[in-house]
Amino acid sequence: THCVGFQLADEAATVQMGNQLAMLMEQGAVIYLHGDLGAGKTTLTRGVIQGFGHQGKVKSPTYTLVEPYELTTANVYHFDLYRLGDPEELEYMGIRDYFSPTAICVVEWPEKGGEFIPAPDLDITLRYVGDARAVEIQSISPRGHSIVDKLKN
Which of residues 34 and 52 has its CB atom nearest to Mg ion in the complex? 34
Which of residues 57 and 102 has its CB atom nearest to ligand ADP in the complex? 57
Residues 24-43 that bind Mg ion (CB under 5 A): 41-42
State the Cα angle at 123 between 121 and 124, rounded to 5°: 130
Stretch near ligand ADP under the rule CB under 6 A, chosen from 22-30, 61-69, 125-133, 144-152: 125-133
Residue-wise DSSP of 125-140? EEEEETTEEEEEEEE-
Residue-wise DSSP of 7-68? EE-SHHHHHHHHHHHHHH--TT-EEEEE--TTSSHHHHHHHHHHHTT--S-----TTTSEEE
Any contact of residue 21 with ligand ADP (CB under 6 A)?
no
| Of the candidate residues 34, 54, 112, 133, the single one contacting ligand ADP (CB under 6 A) | 133
Contact residues toward ligand ADP (CB under 6 A) are 8, 10-11, 13-14, 35, 37-43, 108, 131-133
